Amino acid sequence: MPSSMYDKAVSDKSQHGSNRLRDYGLYALISLGIIAGVVAAAELNVPGNTFEHWFGGAMFSAFLFGQFLENSRQLWKKRLFWVCTGVCLLAHCLVLRALFLRGTLPRSSWVLLVCVEGFILICFRAMLRRISE
């Protein structure tokens, strides 16, 4: 337990440094995963259109749910939040899969999909905040 303001500041700074190191490690792992996916697609001769759809879908999912999680920090300790987020992510993945298997997805459809899913997630977060009050 820090005994002075100086000790607390030093303790907080070292804690922040270890979090930063963990974050950089996580970024490195994510980068390696992306590179491995690109190399695997090239080695397996995946058609460019198929690769664009799946890679774009993965980036879209990471952005959408990453922003949602970042802006929902106050709900992270609620079990219901994680259950509902998992269900939303599963539904999201199933919808993307169905759309990709159906064929090409025009760029305008991506924008519409982002708006609709973003709206659903914002409403979901607002509902959970009301329930948790």
The pLDDT, as a whole number, for residue 11 is 52
Q: Which residue has the higher pLDDT, 90 or 14?
A: 90
Q: Residue 3: pLDDT band by 50, 70, 90 thresholds? A: low
With 60 as the cut, is the pLDDT of residue 10 above it?
Answer: no
- Domain limits, the chain: 1-45, 48-133
- The helix/strand count (H/E) of the chain reads as 4, 0
The pLDDT, as a whole number, for residue 68 is 93
pLDDT digits 0-9 by tens, 118-132: 999 999 999 989 987
pLDDT digits 0-9 by tens, 37-84: 888 888 888 887 778 778 888 888 888 999 999 999 999 999 999 999
The pLDDT, as a whole number, for residue 49 is 76
With 70 as the cut, is the pLDDT of residue 115 above it?
Answer: yes
The pLDDT, as a whole number, for residue 120 is 92
The pLDDT, as a whole number, for residue 122 is 93
With 60 as the cut, is the pLDDT of residue 4 above it?
Answer: no
The pLDDT, as a whole number, for residue 43 is 87
By the 10 Å C-beta count (0-12 exposed, 13-18 middle, 19+ buried), 49 is classed as exposed
Grouping H, G, I as helix, E, B as strand and the rest as coil, residue 24 is: helix
With 80 as the cut, is the pLDDT of residue 133 above it?
Answer: no
